[in-house]
């Protein structure tokens, strides 16, 4: 039976549970885990002040129950195991994780998978801004792993990402792939403005029928039906994203840029 943490005392100010990973929880008994230190606003508190705790600490699986919109850093830094959130979660879900799996049934806040290095994150509904992005002042964002958001996401998806994969099933905000170093971003819904600004390498693929206008510093390279996308579509469909026959047979126009940088980035735009 997984270790279950049910929210019993909704925090009036942000509650941070950074460091509570499946591996860390396995080092405590259920009773001692109640004393695990958390940050409640500007003061220290204990995990048991907000959650009831049941189940086994040895399964390397954490299950959160309740609306955790005000609870941040869930699964941050985890390296193995599984974290499951039944409803919503706050900011920094899976930030800096290196392995394991996180699944959130509801919405999540900003910085989903911020600077993550490995592992998998699946969000069934919507995400905030800066999915897989670098922290302000950092040189690179996510360096590995996979982030799947079945709903919408905000601005600066994959900002400064170096490696890894991000896929957004719904609408995405402005400036996806801004300052991107490498990696892949797949966007299936409507999109915001200025994609790929200052990107150096990497791939942004607009799989929906409403691609934004590209910056003038991107150069058209031709139209084709890239073979690698068929493998991508198969993987995204297996993860619950909508890939119909029309998309699977679509042609894409390739653009290279950003020419104010190295100019080795790729933006694929679906032909409609």
At 139-164, the pLDDT tens digits run 999 999 999 999 999 999 999 999 99
Contact between 89 and 30 (Cβ < 8 Å): no
**Looking at residue 59, what is its pLDDT?**
85
Q: What is the pLDDT of residues 215-251, one digit of tens each?
A: 999 999 999 999 999 999 999 999 999 898 899 889 9
Beta bridge partners of 68: 89
Which tokens hold the place of 73?
């850093």
Q: What does 87-131 look like in DSSP terms, one character per residue?
A: S-B-S-TTTT--SSEEEESS---S-TTTT--SSEEEESS---S-T
Distance CA 104, CA 55 (A): 20
pTM: 0.96
Tokens of 146: 């996979």
- Rounded distance, CA 58 to CA 150, Å? 31
């Amino acid at each position: 039976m997984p270790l279950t943490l049910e929210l019993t005392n909704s925090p009036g100010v942000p509650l941070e549970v950074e460091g509570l990973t499946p591996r860390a929880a396995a080092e405590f008994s259920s009773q001692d885990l109640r004393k695990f230190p958390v940050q409640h606003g500007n003061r220290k508190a204990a995990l048991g002040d907000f959650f009831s705790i049941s189940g086994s600490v040895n399964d390397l699986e954490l299950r959160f129950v309740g609306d955790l919109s005000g609870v941040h850093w869930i699964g941050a830094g985890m390296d193995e195991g599984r974290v499951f959130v039944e409803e919503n979660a706050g900011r920094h879900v899976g930030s800096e994780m290196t392995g394991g799996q996180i699944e959130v049934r509801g919405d999540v806040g900003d910085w989903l998978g911020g600077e993550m290095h490995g592992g998998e994150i699946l969000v069934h509904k919507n995400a905030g801004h800066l999915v897989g992005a670098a922290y302000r002042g950092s040189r690179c964002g996510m360096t590995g792993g996979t982030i799947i958001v079945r709903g919408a996401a905000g601005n600066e998806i994959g900002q400064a990402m170096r490696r890894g994969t991000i896929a957004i099933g719904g609408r995405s905000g402005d400036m996806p792939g801004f300052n991107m170093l490498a990696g892949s971003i797949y966007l299936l819904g409507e999109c915001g403005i200025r994609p790929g600004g200052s990107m150096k390498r990497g791939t942004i693929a607009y799989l929906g029928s409403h691609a934004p206008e590209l910056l003038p510093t991107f150069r058209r390279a031709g139209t084709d039906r890239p073979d690698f996308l068929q493998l991508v579509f198969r993987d995204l469909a297996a993860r619950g994203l909508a890939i119909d026959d029309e998309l699977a047979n679509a042609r894409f126009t390739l653009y290279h840029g950003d020419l104010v940088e190295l100019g080795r980035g790729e933006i694929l735009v679906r032909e409609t």
